[in-house]
Amino acid sequence: MNRRFFLTSGLTLGAVAVLSTQSLAAAASNLTGATNGGRAAKTSFRKVIKTNAQWKRILTPEQYDVTREKGTEAPYSSPLNEIHDSGTFQCVSCALPLFSSKAKFESGTGWPSFYQPLAKQYVHETVDKSIAGEPRTEILCARCDAHLGHVFKDGPPPTGLRYCMNGVAMKFVKA
């Protein structure tokens, strides 16, 4: 009986130890993500890599222009602005889930806006210096490197962030 008890507690302790390790890893990954844009964060998916010619075959010209040429759609042009249903906004190129409808808010900019991604490791951040003297933080899909938009620090609580996305770079999947 004692031995059985010992084994059971041992197992429980083991499970707790595994859980703690996972939490620590998650915390470390969040920390890394915050300091260098998530590039070092561990991803649980394989990268999707295609040539420009292959992307051109899959995407519409508008989707290609935004996701591969880092274009910007005209404000108020995306039907995704009007979506208020529950669901997930996925990468139009590789279907990685990027944003929950729960994090969507009306920013008044004309672009679909979110205060946080579904997971920090699903989006990559990089410095965009295309406008002289006005460096911006570019947001890319972590799986296929599609350009999605930019993130600004003038968003609502709880994060204070505004992920300003191109609707053409995403597709909405209703929950």
Site of interaction with Zn ion (CB under 5 A)? 91, 93-94, 96, 141, 143-144, 146
Number of H helices, E strands in the chain: 3, 9
Q: Least separation, in Å, of the C-beta of 32 and Zn ion? A: 21
Could you tell me the two tokens for 114? 């979110």
Could you tell me the two tokens for 175? 């929950």
Q: Convert 13-51 to b/e letters by CB count within 10 Å (16 or more is b).
A: eeeeeeeeeeeeeeeebeebbeeebbeebeeeeeeeebe
Kindly tell me which of 95 and 156 has the beta carbon lying closer to Zn ion: 95
Q: Find out whether the peptide bond into 158 is cis, omega within 30 degrees of 0.
A: yes
Q: Least separation, in Å, of the C-beta of 141 and Zn ion? A: 3
CA distance 26 to 145: 23
Q: Least separation, in Å, of the C-beta of 27 and Zn ion? A: 26
Active-site amino acid positions: 164
Q: Least separation, in Å, of the C-beta of 58 and Zn ion? A: 11
Kindly tell me which of 71 and 156 has the beta carbon lying closer to Zn ion: 71
Measured at the CA of 52, the angle between CA 69 and CA 129, to 5 degrees, comes to: 30
Kindly tell me which of 96 and 161 has the beta carbon lying closer to Zn ion: 96
Kindly tell me which of 106 and 121 has the beta carbon lying closer to Zn ion: 121
